[in-house]
Copies of this chain bind each other. A is one copy, B any other.
Amino acid sequence: MGSGLSVGVLGATGAVGTEIVRLLADERWPISELSLYGSERSAGKSVSWRDLNKTIQIFDIDSHNVHDLVFIATNSQNSQQIAPTLTKRGTFVVDNTSAFRMAEDVPLVVPEINFDSIQPENRLIANPNCCTIILLMAVAPLRRFGKIKRVVVSTYQSASGAGREGMVELEESTRAYLKGEEFSPEVFPNDYAFNLFSHNTEIGADGYNGEETKMILETRKILNDKEIGVNPTCIRVPVLRSHSESITVEFEGDAPSESNVRECLGAFPGVQVIDDRAGNRFPMPNDSNGQGDVYVGRIRKDVSNPHAISLFVCGDQLLKGAALNAVQIGERLFGLNNN
């Protein structure tokens, strides 16, 4: 690696980009040059990183520095315009948008699960949807107990999925509600204060919204299992930055024992089990907020189906659901973490 890596972050001032920059400050990253890019609105702003003050630049694809690695944390349209040019120059791109997730020649990676799906020639790696990552951190390890037939999952998604503006709108609308003041939502289509609503992505002909369709298709790609059934219901709840998911996993054969599931998940890197029945203590967003691990609990045999188990999962949407997973992909691409 010689004099160190040249790394770029697109969307460096957004909710996810901010976390990527923070994670790249870890000393394991031998970065000689970090370039932070943002919109015209953010350009010129100063962001502290390690002991430096970095200025936000506007990314110019024609004159940019050749980076070893670029994280894209903007939007799909932006990624579609930029990523192919970068990879042609040999730059590794870890893309947090949905632009290339389902492209056949682009690996879609949760490092703990399918880092080995990356081929030597791949330069563009897609970071999965937040709900999919958090779901699969709990579900993928269970394949050791037999073929999984079907997953039924209901999400409790946080405002952070709509970026910093979404988090601010949740706080501001709640503040207004508590003061008895009117509030007109701009980021979300509905009032969010003490309310919840179906994920506001377009509904397909099958009645599933865009977020749910991502969970179905991305799960199949990541698990390399075209047959696995996924039935998601994606709901936004008034929580700031952790997604929770109520999950029922149906196996082809009999369900594993609760203790085997607990042991399996507890041993999986990036997963922590909180499953204290006597103390009635199970995962909550307040456990996972700001944490890199995904928390699993309520592990139990499904009383309605001998082939199924149920569990409840919480994970930080901005970290394992986005920035951390992307940075972990980068770490492995450059041999900085071989766990």
What is the interface of chain A, defined by CB distance below 8 A to chain B? 150-152, 154, 156, 170-171, 174-175, 178, 189-191, 194-198, 200-203, 206-209, 216, 229-231, 233, 235, 237-240, 244, 246, 248, 258, 277-278, 280, 282, 284-286, 297-305, 308, 310, 312
**Are A312 and B178 in contact, CB atoms less than 8 angstroms apart?**
no
Query: Which listed residue, B233, B237, B301, touches A237 by the CB 8 Å rule?
Result: B237
* Top-9 shortest CB links A-B: A207-B300, A229-B304, A154-B246, A154-B154, A203-B277, A231-B304, A233-B246, A198-B282, A197-B284
| Secondary structure class of chain A's binding surface, majority of residues | mixed
Compute how far the CA of A156 lies from the CA of B238 in the bound complex, rounded to whole angstroms. Answer: 11
Enumerate chain B residues within 8 angstroms of A299, measured Cβ to Cβ: 207
Give the oligomeric copy count. Answer: 2
Extra 7 A-B pairs, beta carbons < 8 Å, given A154-B154, A194-B285, A231-B308: A191-B286, A196-B239, A196-B284, A197-B282, A202-B280, A208-B303, A246-B246
Query: Nearest B residue to A244 by beta-carbon distance?
Result: B196
Compute how far the CA of A166 lies from the CA of B233 in the bound complex, rounded to whole angstroms. Answer: 27
Q: A152-B304, A207-B258, A207-B300 are in contact. Are A280 and B200 (CB under 8 A)?
A: yes
Query: Which listed residue, B191, B200, B298, B305, touches A207 by the CB 8 Å rule?
Result: B298
Q: A178-B175, A277-B203 are in contact. Are A239 and B195 (CB under 8 A)?
A: yes
Q: A238-B237, A303-B206 are in contact. Are A196 and B152 (CB under 8 A)?
A: no
Enumerate chain B residues within 8 angstroms of A230, measured Cβ to Cβ: 303-304
The distance from the CB of A85 to the nearest CB of chain B, in whole angstroms, is 34
Enumerate chain B residues within 8 angstroms of A277, measured Cβ to Cβ: 203, 207
Enumerate chain B residues within 8 angstroms of A310, measured Cβ to Cβ: 231, 233
**Are B235 and A246 in contact, CB atoms less than 8 angstroms apart?**
yes
Q: A156-B156, A207-B298 are in contact. Are A231 and B303 (CB under 8 A)?
A: yes
Q: A178-B174, A207-B299, A303-B229 are in contact. Are A190 and B286 (CB under 8 A)?
A: yes
Q: A175-B178, A190-B286, A194-B240 are in contact. Are A233 and B200 (CB under 8 A)?
A: no
Query: Which listed residue, B150, B207, B246, B304, touches A150 by the CB 8 Å rule?
Result: B304
Query: Which listed residue, B208, B229, B233, B238, touches A305 by the CB 8 Å rule?
Result: B229
**Are B284 and A190 in contact, CB atoms less than 8 angstroms apart?**
yes
The distance from the CB of A254 to the nearest CB of chain B, in whole angstroms, is 16
Q: A178-B175, A238-B237, A280-B202 are in contact. Are A231 and B302 (CB under 8 A)?
A: yes
Compute how far the CA of A299 lies from the CA of B197 in the bound complex, rounded to whole angstroms. Answer: 15
Counting chain B CB atoms within 10 Å of each CB, which of A191, A197, A200 scores highest? Answer: A197
Counting chain B CB atoms within 10 Å of each CB, which of A190, A201, A302, A303 scores highest? Answer: A303
Compute how far the CA of A58 lies from the CA of B24 in the bound complex, rounded to whole angstroms. Answer: 66
**Are A280 and B239 in contact, CB atoms less than 8 angstroms apart?**
no
**Are B300 and A208 in contact, CB atoms less than 8 angstroms apart?**
yes
Enumerate chain B residues within 8 angstroms of A197, measured Cβ to Cβ: 282, 284
Compute how far the CA of A248 lies from the CA of B235 in the bound complex, rounded to whole angstroms. Answer: 15
Enumerate chain B residues within 8 angstroms of A239, measured Cβ to Cβ: 194-196, 237-238
Query: Nearest B residue to A278 by beta-carbon distance?
Result: B203
Compute how far the CA of A297 lies from the CA of B191 in the bound complex, rounded to whole angstroms. Answer: 18
Could you pull out 30 A-B pairs where Cβ atoms are within 8 angstroms?
A150-B305, A151-B304, A152-B304, A154-B233, A156-B156, A174-B174, A174-B178, A189-B280, A194-B285, A196-B244, A196-B284, A197-B282, A198-B297, A198-B312, A201-B280, A202-B280, A206-B303, A207-B298, A207-B300, A216-B303, A229-B303, A229-B305, A231-B302, A231-B305, A231-B308, A233-B298, A233-B310, A235-B312, A238-B238, A246-B246
